[in-house]
Amino acid sequence: MSLPVIPAPAQTTAADGTYTLTATTGITVTTPELAGPATRFIQDVALDTGLELTGTAGITLAIEPVDEVDPVAGLRADGESVDERHGLEITGEGIRVWGPTPEAVHRGLTSLRQLISAHLQDGSAVLPATRIADGPRFAWRGLSFDVVRTFHGPDEVRRVIDMLALYKLNVLHLHLTDDQGWRVEVPSRPALTEVGARGALGDRPGGYYSQAELAELVQYAAERYVTVVPEIDMPGHTTAVFAAYPELAPTELRSIDFGDGNSVPLNALQPDRAETWAFVEDVLDAVIPQFPQSAYVHIGGDETWGMPDEDHAAFVERAAALVRARGKKVVGWQEIARGATGPDDVAQYWISIDVDAMDTGNAPRLPENVLPMLLEHFQKAKLDAPKALAAGTRLIASPTTWVYFDRPHGDPSSDPAQEEARKRLGLEFYGPATLRDGISWDPVENTPGVTSTDQLVGVEAAIWCETILSSEDLELMLLPRLPGAAEKAWSHHTPTDWPAYATRLAQQSPTWRHRTWTWHHSTEIPWQ
């Protein structure tokens, strides 16, 4: 039985009959700790569908164990051990949702939200009698969100959090710093926001999140069981840092010019300078308290072009030690494995490009001296995941091939305006990706060196904003790809059946339309 639910539930059992849900339906909670999930559900159903549930009965919530589904693998970004397994049963008499924790019940109510939206017609939803037992395959299920190259304000971040919550994703990894800007307040280093936050990529406007705005975003996410993880990218990707504090920069600033106004900086924070570490400590001391739910700090560590390998390793190891000394755990891009990592660290695998099979003739836009640098980096990258695993370091699966949403859309759109946008959105270097591509992989089978779920923390997609100019562009690249990433992170069913998934995906569009979310109208999907 295929229900219009993404991610696909672990177990579904059909029964005879239906239950008709209307505005007079309401919720009964069997314990006060479920009042929050109940209130959130009522608010979300109204936002998803316009249906306001005003009754007092029909849906019952309870705290009870669910043992039919395998326990989750991986680690959570909040460092907690929370059982998200849940049950959902619909009969002719009503609806019952249960789980061992309030978060588990919230996940069950999320499935119910999708069922209501898919079946709603003329103010009522006739729901098929069914029983669901479900729980996640992986504990870490997220999105890495680049707010540097194009700055996205708090309202748009909240919309993204709502998208994550609808598909049971529970991590928002905020990429807060890069060459093009600095987006988080460090009171002891005011120039980071006064100077470093002024711009974005090209001539795009800059910006940053005040401490008050970040506190609101972190709380908004927590109310939806999403943990916000901060990334401070270092030692490379620090052009904005050097603009704010030139004394931190190398004596000679170097870059490779693309000839079109863009360039690749070849500069990094230097590990042998005392002022470097005073800066890093100031940043960590200011940033960590702004993300109290996160057990992790992401230290970047990627693409340190022009930096000697030994300097990169030395920097990563010392930065990681400073994070640990502040009671947090370390996560970084896969290149951190070139230093010494351990069992408590997490490396984020992303370079899934097969450099040996690359057709370098597809990269004519790159300057002659850029392509060799990239190829050398990709060759080194082949050793990162195996080295991390050998050290007991677990991985987040974020392969460029399948879950980098800055790839151009491979599917045509039925909307002519979107077809025009499709010509400019996404990095041509990666090549286009279809929706079917996005669900045609497996985190264990397609991550180098991984043989079991125990070696993975989870799955995280990434949206980079080099080509994204607006909130509409952002959402056009996120949807309908995000549900596919959630399918890979949550569902125990592998491989994913494409025709069944396409049907389930088609039934998500009423919610997106009602939420005024923009999505790519792929001609491969029979949208409702």
pLDDT, tens digit, 9 for 90 and up, residues 205-238: 999 999 999 999 999 999 999 999 999 999 999 9
Both tokens of 115, joined, read 């069922």
The beta strand positions in 244-344, using DSSP E, are: 255-257, 263-265, 296-300, 329-333
How far is the C-alpha of 261 from the C-alpha of 279, rounded, in Å?
30
- How far does Cα 481 stand from its chain's mean position? 11
pLDDT, residue 441, reads: 98
pLDDT, residue 317, reads: 98
* Arithmetic mean of pLDDT, 54-59: 96
- The SS3 assignment for 347 reads strand
pLDDT, residue 257, reads: 79
The answer to whether the beta carbons of residues 367 and 256 sit under 8 Å apart is yes
Both tokens of 7, joined, read 């991610």
- Residue 127's Cβ-side half-sphere holds a number of Cα atoms within 13 Å equal to 31
pLDDT, residue 229, reads: 99
Using H for helix, E for strand and C for coil, what is the string for 365-401? CCCCCCHHHHHHHHHHHCCHHHHHHHCCCEEEECCHH
- How far does Cα 252 stand from its chain's mean position? 36
pLDDT, residue 378, reads: 87
pLDDT, residue 365, reads: 59
pLDDT, tens digit, 9 for 90 and up, residues 328-367: 999 999 999 999 999 999 999 999 987 776 655 555 456 6
Closest CA to 370 of 310, 305, 296, 283: 305
pLDDT, residue 259, reads: 65
CATH 3.30.565.60 fits 140-515, yes or no: no
How far is the C-alpha of 437 from the C-alpha of 403, rounded, in Å?
9
Assign domain 11-134 one CATH number from 3.10.20.30, 3.40.50.300, 1.25.40.10, 3.30.379.10: 3.30.379.10
pLDDT, residue 1, reads: 61
> Is it the case that residue 12 has pLDDT exceeding 70?
yes
> Is it the case that residue 389 has pLDDT exceeding 90?
yes
Sorted by where each begins, the domain ranges of the chain are 11-134, 140-515
- Residue 18's contacts (CB-CB under 8 Å, 6 or more residues apart) are 92, 126, 127, 128, 129
pLDDT, residue 263, reads: 79
pLDDT, residue 121, reads: 96
Percentage of the chain beyond pLDDT 70 is: 97
pLDDT, residue 482, reads: 98
Give catalytic residues, as residue numbers.
303
- The pTM assigned to this predicted structure is 0.97
* Arithmetic mean of pLDDT, 269-283: 98
pLDDT, residue 174, reads: 98
Closest CA to 135 of 170, 87, 81: 87
- For the chain, the distance separating the N- and C-terminal CA atoms, rounded to the nearest angstrom, is 19
More confident residue, 430 or 355: 430
pLDDT, residue 364, reads: 46
pLDDT, tens digit, 9 for 90 and up, residues 19-49: 999 999 999 999 999 999 999 999 999 999 9
- How confident is the prediction for the chain on average, in pLDDT? 95
Within 10 Å of residue 151's Cβ, how many Cβ atoms? 22
pLDDT, residue 306, reads: 87
Helical residues (DSSP H) of 167-295, grouped into ranges: 191-194, 211-223, 239-244, 274-287
> Is it the case that residue 168 has pLDDT exceeding 70?
yes
pLDDT, residue 367, reads: 67
